[in-house]
Amino acid sequence: MASKTERPARVVFLDRDTLSPETRLRTPDFPHELTVHGKTSAAEVADRIVDAEIVITNKAPVRGPELERAKNLKLIAVAATGTDIIDLKAAKAHGVTVSNIRNYAVHTVPEHTFSLILLLRRSLIAYRDSVKAGRWIEANQFCFFDHPIRDLSGSTLGVVGDGVLGKAVAKLGEAFGMKVIFSDYKGTTGMGPLYTPFDEVMRRSDIITLHSPLMPSTRNMISTREFAMMERKPLLINTARGGLVDEAALYEALTKGQVSGAGFDVVTVEPPPMDHPMMKLLELPNFILTPHIAWASQEAIQGLADQLVDNIDAFMKGAPRNVVTPEGY
């Protein structure tokens, strides 16, 4: 805890460029010296945090070796909800508190999810490209029917992930007249009557949308086996985490027609190299890849930034909030 008689706390922001330029970062409410880096590679982290008491990071990883050198470190304030970039066990062992951001994307992620769903369900990208290529003139009538157009009303939306975002997406689905089913966690049963077995969700859904954290139990939870059981050839939407879907298996599923389309905002490697399976899929009219921006409305990012400073201020007042441990929240 800081007092006015103590020297200013050393605060290091490792990757300010991961927040939009128009985002205002409020000044913390205690004496401090702030060092801001636009980007920080994994190899640069150790040197940049060696004297820090508070580290702010969004995507720059802080692991055991870096924590070992950072003898003064007291708080890692993660500027995101996911904390897989932090070695939580090592942080706990070194007496370092880790905080994260919660419930800031309750509008932006569901809206982005449904933007992808609507674009794909109504083949809007394919029709736009066709018009640009002169197909409407070639058709020589008021419309043409080259790509499928399907309503959302009456279709089944399978939601994998029952947190705040999954529930918000489900609410939008119900507003469109969709039948919403929540999936049991893969490999579990008996979660109650409000949940549907994971495999059944794969079989019954017209659209499957993912809102799960990335953990060992969820990594590649949709792969060759799951694509094979998708009887209704659904749309697959992932605005959650890269790694939830086996990307090589997705490539096969889309090119073989096992799914009718896919909309992804996340990739295991960001940005993906040009030879990555997801980049190769961009030639398909039924695939959309956006650059991890589902979270990034101006309103959401400003809310994140405000909560980030609130977390730091609370810690310095001796009342840490949004604390993450190896055991969870």
Q: Which residue pairs, CB below 8 angstroms and at least 24 apart, start in 162-165?
A: 162/195, 162/211, 163/211, 164/103, 164/106, 165/105, 165/106, 165/109, 165/110, 165/211, 165/240
For 80, which DSSP code? Answer: S
For 165, which DSSP code? Answer: H
SS3 55: strand
Mind telling me the catalytic residues?
241, 270, 292
The span from the CA of 261 to the CA of 236, in Å, is 6
The span from the CA of 67 to the CA of 234, in Å, is 44
The pair of three-digit structure tokens given for residue 172, joined into one six-digit string:
């939008």
- Taken as a whole, the chain contains a residue count of 329
CB count within 10 Å of CB 187 equals 9
Contact of 62 with 38, CB cutoff 8 Å: no
Contact of 21 with 48, CB cutoff 8 Å: no
CA-closest candidate to residue 204, choices 171, 222, 230, 186: 230
CB count within 10 Å of CB 197 equals 17
The span from the CA of 302 to the CA of 70, in Å, is 29
